[in-house]
Amino acid sequence: GEDVEQSLFLSVREGDSSVINCTYTDSSSTYLYWYKQEPGAGLQLLTYIFSNMDMKQDQRLTVLLNKKDKHLSLRIADTQTGDSAIYFCAESSGGSYIPTFGRGTSLIVHP
Amino acid sequence: SAVISQKPSRDICQRGTSLTIQCQVDSQVTMMFWYRQQPGQSLTLIATANQGSEATYESGFVIDKFPISRPNLTFSTLTVSNMSPEDSSIYLCSVRTGMNTEAFFGQGTRLTVV
């Protein structure tokens, strides 16, 4: 299997919460990231979490990390149409400069 | 943070030709990388651009096909040589300002080979 896995699509209604899930295989991962890619644009770092944390909140974004299960999630509260994009999960290990990316989850927000 | 300007943003090229993509950063950065993002796929690292020396290529990528230059700490180019339709993809420049720092990305170059 792939090193970082995430579902490919998620559809939500505007105003609802979105939860995007990710699993990874490297137990030595030290940093886990969420990137957002809007159509025609590069990747924008949304947030990241150190492996010694289990939760990080930043305004509408909540990241949860279950290190035992190697599971990472991104929750977007009050999802808006402007949140429609592809969300990439990525991880990097200590000493590595290079994150490993998942295939991205396309979030579709409909009225 | 780092602001990355990548050119061109898109291009349509004939098979057999080559395209050079430029990546300019607004500040000196330690590390520069080139990624490929094929439709519906994850980002795949092509190589690490090393200042003043040959790039470090990942498995499956070779210098003859993807020559890379990095003459200084703010600029790099990636050339896609002898293109075929299979090279149609988005190519992304990425930088990091230091170890254990976030990776910044350019807006990407959308390449279509016909």
Per-residue pLDDT tens listing for chain B (114 residues): 788 999 999 999 999 999 999 999 999 998 899 999 988 788 999 999 999 889 999 999 999 999 999 999 999 999 999 999 999 999 999 998 776 567 888 989 999 999
Pairing mode of beta strands B31-37, B89-96: antiparallel
Q: Do A43 and B41 touch (CB under 8 A)?
A: no
In this prediction, residue A35 carries a pLDDT of 93
Q: Do A98 and B48 touch (CB under 8 A)?
A: yes
**Which pLDDT band, with edges at 50, 70 and 90, does A97 fall under?**
low
Task: Report cis status (omega within 30 of 0) of the bond before A111.
Answer: no
Which residues numbered 2-41 in B keep a CB inside 8 Å of some CB on A? 4, 6, 9, 31, 33, 40-41
For chain A, the residue count is 111
In this prediction, residue A81 carries a pLDDT of 95
DSSP secondary structure letter of residue A83: G
Q: Do A88 and B42 touch (CB under 8 A)?
A: yes
**Which pLDDT band, with edges at 50, 70 and 90, does A98 fall under?**
confident
Of residues B64 and A98, more confidently modeled: B64
Q: What does the alpha-carbon distance between residue B39 and residue B87 come to, in Å, rounded to a whole number? A: 11
**Which pLDDT band, with edges at 50, 70 and 90, does A30 fall under?**
confident
Q: Which residues contact B16 (CB under 8 A, 6 or more apart)?
A: B82, B83, B84
Contact B31, B96 (CB under 8 A): yes
| CB contacts < 8 A (A, B) | 49
